[in-house]
Amino acid sequence: MLRSLFSCLPKFWANWMTLLGTAVATVAGCAALFGVVSAAVQDWPRPYSAAITFLVMPMVLVFGLLIMLAGFIWEKNRKKDGNPDPIRAAFQAAMQDKRARRLILFVGLATLVNIVIIAAAGTAGLSYMDTPVFCGEMCHKVMQPEYDTYKASPHARVACVRCHIGPGASWAVKAKVDGLRQVVAMFTGSYSTPIPSPVHTLRPARYICEECHWPANFHGNDIKFFTKYGDDEANSPEVTALSMRIGGQDPVTGEFRGIHWHVSQDIEVRYEPLDEKRERIGMVQVYEKGELKAEYLPENSDAEDAPADRPNTDGVEFRTMDCVDCHNRPTHVFDQTPRMAVDRAFLEGSLDASVPFLHKAAVQVLAGADNIDRDSAGQYFVEKLKAAFASGEGEQQERATEEQIGRAASAVTDLYLRNVYPHMKLTWGTHPNHLGHRGEEKDMRGCFRCHNEKHTARDGKTISMDCELCHSFVAEEDSPDELYDVVKDLYRPDYSK
């Protein structure tokens, strides 16, 4: 039986082309089979493994079979010409030798073992490529800001590939092709500083975010608290409470309302981004069940009388609004300003509100530091805080002890290291957060990119800036002790801003 089995091998080893095709097809087939089995025992196929298993390996297998076919045709033509078959003759001669047969059997078994080892190692390698450690540390200098914020984010237990690639082989292949470009940029030093945002190749949020989050779910209204601190001696806290009209699909009427109206099943909001950051918005269109219901043009535009006055939108394509147009920093969250960073630190308790004028001093030293070497930042902020307290008001210097200043300097250093990366040219406000409009007063980003009363329809109607569309005030810059009892019971710190 063994002899009859081996007697078929010369047909596949008739010449170097059939031999090469056989090797390629065998390895690809075994790898694909191993990948299919691995995917069957996992909860969901890992993106890179799926790409290799369902796209790359089948193509390699077909390529190997085509090489074999070409080899068979070549062999057939060679026989017609009467040329000898050196490989077949050598193989038949070897089969007459018992030691040669044993050697061939050994090589065959060893090859199968090597295929299993390589497939297992390859699967482990692909699994490693799916981990946040691979994404964040392989190119640590470039990815350090994103990786640091990822580890401190609400999505810290969600692998990077779940959002940046998602399930499915085709998107994994696109990611790998883009990854090759990034590898080249890393080695040549041609990468962007900072990393551009938003990511224009990101998969639509409907296929990523909505695997876990469901905007159609009716959230109704939710109370959201924002706490900021004063520059006075007591670092006085002030609380603003908003009743956010998050909305969703009303379980009674079936209609979408509230903020999540923008991503309802029947509504499609399309807009023209006029810059790479999607901060300047051109035309805005609203479709309902596929029918155009409204079209708004930006300021200095007139669709009928002066279309040439519109901003230059050559090459700009319409984008369908989805989750990440507002939730654009769901994981890699940076504080927008030094003041907002210090407010968050007071709220978390890492900065001691009992230290007089600490809020004012911390904001002052952070605002003056945007290019300090990260390795020497600790000592820098110790010296700057000491100087700030020494030049402070009244009894400020005497009432802040050396120990208190040291602890404050440590917390301020952490704020700096979380938000400023000079080697990547990343500082305060580099990556704006469009969830709301809580930046500086002059900041017209976030909701105000469209809701600015400067986008006008032909009937004169504008996209309103009315606050009541999204929220209403429950408390506005009140002391926590002055809140209504019912609000005070609900009050909880909000660490996300």
Mean pLDDT of the chain: 80
- One domain for residues 309 and 229: yes
What mean pLDDT do residues 289-306 have?
75
- In this structure, is residue 318 part of a structural domain? yes
Q: How many domains does the chain have?
A: 4
- In this structure, is residue 496 part of a structural domain? no
Write out the E strands in 183-312: 220-229, 237-249, 256-257, 267-273, 281-288, 291-296
CA-nearest of 456, 443, 233, 246 to 359 is 233
Q: Strand 237-249 vs strand 256-257: parallel, antiparallel, or unpaired?
A: antiparallel
Residues 67-126 have pLDDT tens digits of 877 877 777 776 665 665 565 666 666 666 677 667 667 766 776 776 676 666 666 666
Dihedral sign (CA 453, 457, 458, 459) = negative
- In this structure, is residue 455 part of a structural domain? yes
- Residue 367 pLDDT > 60: yes
CA distance 394 to 99: 99
Contact 15, 87 (CB under 8 A): yes
- One domain for residues 413 and 466: no
Give me the pLDDT at residue 236, please: 93
- One domain for residues 26 and 122: yes
- Residue 27 pLDDT > 60: yes
- One domain for residues 365 and 407: yes
What mean pLDDT do residues 122-132 have?
71
Domain that holds residue 397: 338-424
- One domain for residues 394 and 451: no
- In this structure, is residue 293 part of a structural domain? yes
| Full-model pTM | 0.74
Among residues 109, 129, 149, the one where a domain terminates is: 129
- One domain for residues 85 and 7: yes
- In this structure, is residue 204 part of a structural domain? no
Contact 60, 28 (CB under 8 A): yes
3-state secondary structure of 350: coil
124 burial class (0-12, 13-18, 19+ CB within 10 angstroms)? exposed
- In this structure, is residue 176 part of a structural domain? yes
With a pLDDT cut of 90, the percent of the chain lying above it is 29
Phi, psi of 266 (to 5 degrees): -95, -15
- In this structure, is residue 167 part of a structural domain? yes
- Residue 7 pLDDT > 80: no
CA distance 9 to 70: 17
CA distance 454 to 298: 6
CA distance 153 to 332: 7
CA distances (Å), 477 to each of 37, 168, 234, 467, in order? Answer: 59, 48, 16, 16
- One domain for residues 246 and 284: yes
Give me the pLDDT at residue 83, please: 61
- One domain for residues 292 and 306: yes
What mean pLDDT do residues 270-290 have?
92
- One domain for residues 385 and 444: no
What 3 state SS string does 397-420 have? HHHCCHHHHHHHHHHHHHHHHHHC
| Confidence label for 35 from pLDDT (cuts 50, 70 and 90) | low
Query: Higher confidence at residue 392 or residue 405?
Result: 405
Q: In what order do the strands lie in the sheet with 281-288?
A: 291-296, 281-288, 267-273, 319-320
Lowest mean pLDDT among 8-22, 331-345, 349-363, 383-397: 8-22
- Residue 378 pLDDT > 70: yes
| Confidence label for 310 from pLDDT (cuts 50, 70 and 90) | very low
Among residues 75, 95, 129, the one where a domain terminates is: 129
- One domain for residues 41 and 186: no
Residues 158-210 have pLDDT tens digits of 888 888 887 766 777 777 777 778 778 877 888 889 988 888 878 888 888 88
Find where tokens 């080892």 sit.
117
- In this structure, is residue 205 part of a structural domain? no
Most confident of 214-228, 354-368, 443-457: 354-368
Lowest mean pLDDT among 122-131, 360-369, 483-492: 122-131
- One domain for residues 88 and 227: no
Q: What are the structure tokens assigned to 64, written together?
A: 């190997």
| Confidence label for 249 from pLDDT (cuts 50, 70 and 90) | confident
CA-nearest of 66, 69, 193, 181 to 142 is 193
CA distance 38 to 44: 10
- One domain for residues 346 and 417: yes
Q: Calculate ∠ Cα 217-220-226, nearest 5°.
A: 115
Give me the pLDDT at residue 308, please: 40
Among residues 391, 424, 457, the one where a domain terminates is: 424
Q: What count of Cα atoms within 13 Å lies in the side-chain half-sphere of residue 30?
A: 16
Give me the pLDDT at residue 304, please: 45
